[in-house]
Amino acid sequence: DYDPNVDVRAVKPRKPKDGESLACATAELVRGAVAETLKYSTKPADMVADPEWFLELTRQTHKRRFVATGGALKDVLKLDQETDADMVIGDDISEGDDDGSRIAFEWKTEVRKYRRSPTKDKTESD
């Protein structure tokens, strides 16, 4: 048995900003709506099946852009190609604190998912 649940909302137009065309404003609005929709790519069943896995997924993907699209959506969120200059970290940018700690995950073929592997974690004392 499958009871589908669909949340459909209209994308409402906004007034263009000064110097912005209506087409440009609409394109940005649709892009934002697509981005919002794609955030929810994890199935609810996966979320409740293993709470520890879901907590770790949430921790690791917070404020990240892990989006893969295809078909009609493949060009909607296409980012400009990065140049070598874009990828260079300047001296004035702080890389943050890193104590060397790492948490480990292993691919489990039988369930076709990564699973947390606490015994392989690295702490700052390792």
pLDDT tens track of the chain, all 126 residues? 777 777 777 766 677 888 888 888 777 777 777 666 656 666 677 767 877 877 787 777 776 665 555 665 566 555 555 566 656 655 555 555 667 778 888 888 898 888 888 888 887 766
Residue 24 domain flag? yes
Residue 110 lies in a domain: yes
Residue 67 falls inside a structural domain: no
Q: Which domain holds residue 110?
A: 50-62+101-126
- For residue 72, tell me if it sits in a domain: no
Residue 35 within a domain = yes
Three-state secondary structure readout of 67-110: CCCCHHHCCCCCCCCCCHHHHCCCCCCCCCCCCCCECCEEEECC
- pLDDT score, position 15: 78
* Spatial distance between the Cα atoms of 22 and 77, rounded to a whole number of angstroms: 19
106 in a structural domain: yes
pTM: predicted TM-score of the whole model, two decimal places = 0.29
Instruction: Kindly list the distances between the CA atom of residue 81 and the CA atoms of 5, 78, 86, 87, in Å, as whole numbers in the listed order.
Output: 37, 9, 9, 11
- How many distinct structural domains can be found in the chain? 2
pLDDT at residue 120, as a whole number? 86
Is the residue at 124 inside a domain?
yes
